[in-house]
Structure 1
Amino acid sequence: LAQIIPPSTVLIFIGDLLAGVNQTAQLKLGNFAPTPISVGDLFAGALVPGFILVGLFLLWIVYKAVFQPETVPALVMTPEERKGLPLRVIGVLIPPLILIVAVLGSILFGFATPTESASVGAIGAMLLAAINRRLSFATIRYAALNTMITTSIIFTIVLAASLFSLVFRGLGGEHMVEEALRNLPGGAFGAMLAVMAIMFILGFFLDTFEIILIMLPICGPPLILMGLDPLWIGVMIAMNLQTSFMTPPFGFTLFYLRGVAPQTVRTGQIWSGALPFVALQLFALSLLWAFPQAATWLPKQLFAPAAIERSAPAGEGSSSGIGSFIDDSFTIDDEGIPLEEDDPFSKNR
């Protein structure tokens, strides 16, 4: 759930790239003053799908506990250990929740940028460590060292992926991808389905940031040109990659779990245990595909409507399916190609 529930590093990364991708697409449509997309927009868009996914997971666990109790045995505790357990649980859960709300709320309500909210999170984490009497110079040094290592890894990936994208575009690959997506059957829906399928398969072999850096700048503009909402695209990508990383036998998450699980737990058991959650995520992804408003409703409630209507759904309210999610500011032919007069692609056909 870490990729889809804000504040998520993946959502921040997608939001930063999506802003440039949306600007590129809007310039091609002749909109020279497009409304920018912020990370806060994407955070708000991911909240409802994320909570839907949490609800599905909880329902599955309750089902297992009620109908297959042997698969989820109760925690064995002595009467002494049970005393004051609810209060201890609340004491453990509330402080991190306050920290999450502080970080996320500062972004959603415009009090801080994502970079500034990160400092809020760092200060809050240090305060929690101090309250629990675990704050020391060694702890700060360890956290700073790991932050530096992780940041270096991410920036190395960014540099390599940016170099690949630059060469790919220089050789005309970007235009080939645009033409290929436009010529797919089904128009915008067929193109989006193809991009999701490719990213799902790439998730078996590549890291999240590599996939986003390579695929989003290349495939994002054509999808937005076809009328799809960029916020919906970003949330779909985050949930799709999260599902890919849990899918046996190549899912990265399963290998991480294998590394920390005891030897008594077999790899086959990990795979079989992950399959129901993969199915639930695919179901949630299908719901988001059928009802795009799940990713766009909350941003429109939190922010000014005029600032959010980048690719406003046509006929919203009369239809809840994805068919109502195509921008009606320009017409689309049977191949899903925008035919607006100032669209350079329509002139070159």
Structure 2
Amino acid sequence: MEWLALVLFALVLIALMIGFPVAFTLAGVSLLFAFGALFAGVFDIAFIQAIPSRIYSIMTNSTLLAVPLFIFMGLMLEKSKIADQLLLTLAEVFKGVRGGLGIAVILVGALLAASTGLVGATVVMLGLLALPTMLQQGYCPKLASGTICASGTLGQIIPPSIILILLADVISNAYQQAQLQQGIFAPETVSVGDLFAGALLPGLLLVGLYLAYMLGVAWLQPHRVPKFAAPTQHGVIQTQPGLLVRVVQSLLPPIGLILLVLGSIILGMATPTEAGALGALGALLLAMFKRQLSMATLNYVMRNTLKLTSMIFLIFIGAAFFSLVFRGLGGDELAHQLLGNLPGGLFTLMLLTMLFLFILGFFLDFIEITYVVVPIVAPVLLMLGADPIWLAIMIAINLQTAFLTPPFGFALFYLRGVANEALKTLDIYKGVWPFILLQLGLLGLLAAWPSLATWLPAFIN
């Protein structure tokens, strides 16, 4: 019966790579296997009967309730034109510095990541605002497109990140499962706040690596990174008086909202759901103060929040079908036997897992990988001694490559959709590889020094 679980896993991956809808593929293929195995007498119907209770537990999960709230917050901040003011102001700050516009783009990407957590919206905003100016100023098209794509995907690792909320749920379940199998009947859990705190230092370090790369290119290859004059909506002009005031006005609102939302979660003053509600309210007030709040804006934000939330929760439900059927076919036990007996123990399994996730990132979205692959490998890694927070951050950074890696990286498609025809698709593909290598370098640093991810959560707790 166990070989059926491997066939199920392989067919689901193949169907997803072909492009079939994620939720319906997970549920449909799993049910076909379940009923076939049931008629063959090698499947317990109790696993099918457990599906309604699993769906109910998903819909009543208070942690997952933070997902629509943070999506609402991100979309509202997107419509409040916060990126426009940030980019224009920071561009003035770095006026005359070689590579200054690239530095401004990276910093704006980091601030938007910590404000919105929405990768697609950030890449599109930066592509519309910064790409034409960078190309006009004489930036290398590969460097310009790579910088925008990489900066836009910082929302994957810098909290509040949707993937960290999802990973908190998956890793927590895997951690409890691993502890129960080890005879611990009061298992601990992994909170969203723990992952947010754990991701903070690696996220800032990744921003530092991006900035160092930009400065290095400016120094070693100055022909690719020209000096620039501050861009505005009306072209290139000289710096206007009152720059310090404009810097404070543009930076204070997003930084204040970041500190309010993340600080309340990391310090344990609010649950992720409560902090998400606070962030959504803050984004509404910010849009109102910037005179960007209207019925059309509210209608856009609410409709898109509903669409994105429905998509994510439908994938949750499809993943519940898959996990129950996979377990009913003996897939969990088979995975433990195959993975747990690998030579080299935790190091070998972790290396293979990271390599496997990186390859899957070429073809699959991070949500699909999180709910199909991670629940299978995470319990084994945790039983071998992996720290759950370190493991989650390693996976999150690896999954960030799913947005950047050609040929199917979503960030590449987002930028391709808003870029003019003068920018070649091949330039976008070539431009992201240095940043992918920087992410892999950060993974190596985390593997060598897990305390980069575990120190802050331990210090706070």
TM range (shorter): 0.7 to 0.9
- The answer to whether the 8 Å contact 1:158/1:213 transfers is yes
Asked whether the 8 Å contact 1:48–1:294 carries over to 2, the reply is: yes
Measure, in 2, the Cα distance between the counterparts of 1:79 and 1:86. 17
TM-score by length of 1: 0.83
Q: State whether structure 2 residue 276 is matched by structure 1 residue 118.
A: yes
3-state DSSP of counterpart to 1:26: helix
Q: Which of 146, 164, 189 is the matching residue for 1:36?
A: 189
Q: CA deviation at 1:166?
A: 1.6
Report the equivalent of 2:345.
187
TM-score by length of 2: 0.63
CA distance in 2, matches of 1:245, 1:184: 30
Tell me the residue number matched to 1:20.
173
Residue 300 of structure 1 deviates from its aligned partner by: 0.8
Count of matched residue pairs: 303
Instruction: Indicate which of 280, 288, 293 corresponds to 1:130.
Output: 288
Question: How far apart, CA to CA, are the structure 2 residues paired with 1:159 and 1:202?
Answer: 21
Superposition RMSD in Å: 1.5
Alignment of 1:49 with 2:202, yes or no, is yes
How far has the Cα of 1:174 moved from its partner? 1.4
Give 1:213's aligned residue.
Answer: 371
Q: Distance in 2 between matches of 1:79 and 1:142?
A: 34
Aligned to 1:259: 417
Q: Identify if the C-alpha distance between structure 1 residues 28 and 36 changes in structure 2 by more than 3 Å, giving closer, same or farther.
A: same
Structure 2 gaps of 5+ residues are 1-153, 231-235
CA deviation vs aligned residue, 1:118-145 (integer Å, no higher than 9, x gap): 1111000011111111112221121111
- Contact kept in structure 1, 2:229 and 2:237, CA below 8 Å: no
How big is the shift at 1:37? 1.4
Per-residue CA deviations over 1:167-210 (Å, capped at 9, x if unaligned) read 11111111111111112221111111111111111112211111
Do the aligned partners of 2:365 and 2:402 also contact (CA within 8 Å) in 1? no
Letter in 1 for 2:160: P
CA deviation digits over 1:92-130, x for unaligned, max 9?
Answer: 222111111111111111121111111111000011111
Aligned amino acid, residue 44 of structure 1: A
Q: Contact 1:246/1:252 (CA < 8 Å) preserved in 2?
A: yes
CA displacement 1:289-331 (0-9 Å, x = unmatched): 111111111111001xxxxxxxxxxxxxxxxxxxxxxxxxxxx
Task: Give the partner amino acid of 1:204.
Answer: F
Is 1:159 paired with 2:317?
Answer: yes
Is this contact kept in 1: 2:229–2:238, CA < 8 A?
Answer: no
* 2:162 corresponds to 1:9: yes
Is structure 2 residue 458 aligned with structure 1 residue 300? yes
Partner-residue secondary structure (3-state), 2:273 = helix
Mapped pair 1:279 → 2:432: no
- 2:363 aligned counterpart, secondary structure: coil
Matched residue SS, 1:280: helix
Structure having the higher helix fraction is: 2
Residue aligned with 1:112, SS: coil
Residue identity over aligned pairs, in percent, reads 52
Q: Once the 2 structures are TM-superposed, how far is the Cα of residue 164 of structure 1 from its aligned partner?
A: 1.6
Identify which range, 21-30 or 158-167, moves more after superposition.
158-167
User: Partner letter of residue 298 of structure 1?
Assistant: L
Task: Show the counterpart of 1:248.
Answer: 406
Structure 2 distance, partners of 1:95, 1:31, is 46
Measure the CA separation in 1 of the matches of 2:237 and 2:307.
45
User: Does structure 2 conserve the Cα–Cα contact (< 8 Å) formed by 1:246 and 1:253?
Assistant: yes
Is the 8 Å Cα contact of residues 204 and 252 (structure 1) preserved in structure 2? no
